[in-house]
Amino acid sequence: MPVRFTERDNARRRQAPRLKRLANLGVLDIACDDGQRTLVLTGELDLASGWMLDCPLRQIGTEGSRTFTLDLSGLTCIDSTGVRAVLAARGLCAARCCEFTLIPGPAHVQRVLELGGLTADLLLSGREAGARGP
């Protein structure tokens, strides 16, 4: 069934260059031959930048990925939109039989997840915040 684009989608595409200037988020997508995929985030995961994760998150579990890691160690800020993105990644992994792991962010980023009562529900990697690489 073909996907129909709405006026809202067209407006979003027209605004993308302006939104990109407002966003302060770096996204490094690392895919390995052994089925591991990692998204390394740097900067601010907030309302202005959360949309930048839509495409990489939709690809979770495709192309033979068996494990997905979301690295928050380089974040300087996260808000409720960022929390939604983390939960969306976890949900997509569950739906596509892909193991989800979260590399913790700095203390102030982890505090936002704790306040939301999410740290007990998320599988945290044993790696320390600030560690780099898959």
| Residues in CB range of 72: below 8 A, 6 or more apart | 41, 45, 78, 86, 102, 103, 104, 105, 109, 129
Predicted pLDDT at 17: 58
32 confidence band (pLDDT: 50, 70, 90): confident
Where are the alpha helices (H) located in 1-134, listed in sequence order? Answer: 7-22, 54-58, 80-95, 107-115
130 confidence band (pLDDT: 50, 70, 90): very low
**What type of residue sits at position 40?**
V
Mean per-residue pLDDT, 7-20: 63
Predicted pLDDT at 61: 73
Give the Cα separation of 52 and 56 in Å (integer): 8
Is 71 buried (19+), middle (13-18) or exposed (0-12) by CB count in 10 A? buried
